[in-house]
Amino acid sequence: MPAEKILLVDDEKLVRWSLRERLTSEGFEVDEAENLAAAERRMAADFYDLVLLDHRLPDGSGLDRIAPIARDFPESAVIMLTAYGTVEGAVRAIKAGANDYLTKPIDGDALVAVVRRVLETTQLRRELRRLKEDQKKVHGPANLVGRSPAMRAVFDVVSKVAGSAASTVLLTGESGSGKDVVAKAIHYASDRADRPFMNITCTAVPATLLESELFGHERGAFTDARVGKKGLLELADGGTAFLDEIGDMPPPLQAKLLRFLEDKSFKRVGGTRDIQVDVRIIAATNRDLAEAVRTKQFREDLYYRINVVPIALPPLRDRKGDVPLLAQHFVLHFNREFKKNVEGFSRRALAALERYGWPGNVREMRNVVERMMILEPSGTLHLEDLPSEIRGEPGAASETERAFRLPPGGVELEEVERTLVRQALTRADGNRTHAARLLGVSRDTLRYKLKKFGLAGSASGPEPDQVEPGA
């Protein structure tokens, strides 16, 4: 690794010699400048990790040059040197943009310690900036793939929302349709991109803990709360909070979220002080929230509050022409991740991908391509490499279509739903969590269905996870 370069700016030759000798003995590469003009010529011609800048120089004040250096050379750190050390001078130097301050005569050990600390801090800041730039590239709007009319409409809204002051956005669409990808694209295309993007899935945290996760808690607020904790909304200050599956948020917490959206303030659990934050809320759900409002499962006022800028993501089956683009996008992605050189799909394989209905949407396609890439070292992905459910003759019905045929005389949809809920309970031996997974719904939704259809083991049943399978 190349030695870090330091520019030493001081009008006293003996001081420059002394400091240079000590720094070069520690492995640094040091150049000298006797005044500001020479320093500016040096910095215009070469990059320096650190500038040791004297306060009083023949052609001006080093203190006055700190801010221009910080503006024109943001990758270079600055340490102020002066023979007139005062607290006021130190404060002025730091406010101007200096990373630290040393008073003459300078102790060699102190110099090396300060230089190393400043360079380590500067390196960490550089890495953080690089990571943020990488995040923008990976998750920005350019990562949204598609040319179908439905997706072009989504891209247009995303671009407008990202550049706006909209404080709430609602993403709707089937599970796996890419709501999380769109949420990140909005964040990283906005002026909030350098601030945090905080993600929480409302169904992934028990209802009793979700309030603490969102709003934080004070020490002693509940059992085991030995220390205070900041919540997601507080940590996201200045940035974006992504609330996934908001349609399954418990009703009591819906009221508290509404208050936060109205006031932009909240209290931690067990706290009395209002905390003010600036956060953009992006909510997402695969539920029909209008129907949830009608059935009293979701607050009407909260629905209208988060539905200011709605973005409906189309299912993959309705995105004609996007399947080949997405397939190649995932091949390139996993080539980088797995360090492989897979060229893409054969024509027959690509035709099968386009015929398939993709009930799991983009997430299912990503998983399929990942599995194929793991098993295929290089070359082309062929029809034979596809999972059996995707391989099929043109016009063949999917497994779901074969299982459910609409009778000529039609059916009562509610009765079909009731039958499927009973079958799921039977197959799951009465375990609600397993039954909900089989049906592709949350436990709260299943509980509502049980109550709606009058099945044994509803929300009022004696066991939290067990119902009578034969009900």
The answer as to whether 400 is a domain residue is no
Domain shared by 168 and 193, yes or no: yes
Least confident of 1-10, 19-28, 227-236, 327-336: 1-10
How buried is 411 (Cβ within 10 angstroms: 0-12 exposed, 13-18 middle, 19+ buried)?
Answer: exposed
**In sequence order, what DSSP letters do the residues of 274-289 get, joined into one string?**
-EE---EEEEEESS-H
Domain shared by 150 and 241, yes or no: yes
Domain shared by 53 and 76, yes or no: yes
Max mean pLDDT range (21-25, 71-75, 80-84): 21-25
The answer as to whether 298 is a domain residue is yes
Answer whether residue 265 shows pLDDT above 80. Answer: yes
Q: CATH number, domain at 391?
A: 1.10.8.60
The answer as to whether 401 is a domain residue is no
Q: CATH number, domain at 434?
A: 1.10.10.60
Domain shared by 270 and 160, yes or no: yes
Domain shared by 217 and 297, yes or no: yes
Domain shared by 158 and 116, yes or no: no
Domain shared by 224 and 259, yes or no: yes
Residues of the domain holding 160: 140-312
Closest CA to 240 of 173, 182, 167, 303: 167
Alpha-carbon span 207 to 428, nearest angstrom: 23
First to last CA, the chain: 71
Domain boundary, last residue among 333, 362, 395? 395
Q: On the CB side of 261, how many CA atoms lie within 13 Å of its CA?
A: 24
Domain shared by 284 and 321, yes or no: no
In whole angstroms, how large is the CA radius of gyration of the chain?
A: 30
Alpha-carbon span 175 to 339, nearest angstrom: 30
Q: What does the pLDDT read at residue 470?
A: 40
Domain shared by 273 and 179, yes or no: yes
Q: What does the pLDDT read at residue 221?
A: 83
Residue 385 identity (one-letter amino acid)? D
The answer as to whether 101 is a domain residue is yes
Answer whether residue 457 shows pLDDT above 70. Answer: no
CA distances from 83 to 15, 16, 56, 161 (A): 12, 14, 9, 54
Tokens of 109: 């050990």
**pLDDT tens digits, one per residue of 204-256:** 888 888 999 999 999 888 877 889 999 999 999 999 999 999 999 999 999 99
Domain shared by 63 and 156, yes or no: no
How buried is 407 (Cβ within 10 angstroms: 0-12 exposed, 13-18 middle, 19+ buried)?
Answer: exposed
Beta bridge partners of 6: 30, 50
The helix (run of H) or strand (run of E) holding residue 242 is strand 240-244
**In sequence order, what DSSP letters do the residues of 96-145 get, joined into one string?**
HT-SEEEESSPPHHHHHHHHHHHHHHHHHHHHHHHHHHHHHHHHSGGG--
Answer whether residue 401 shows pLDDT above 90. Answer: no
Domain shared by 193 and 321, yes or no: no
Helix ranges, 346-393 (H): 347-355, 361-375
Domain shared by 122 and 146, yes or no: no
The answer as to whether 403 is a domain residue is no
What is the arithmetic mean of pLDDT over 170-194? 94
The answer as to whether 404 is a domain residue is no
Number of domains in the chain: 4
Beta bridge partners of 54: 81
Q: What does the pLDDT read at residue 281?
A: 97
Tokens of 130: 């690089």
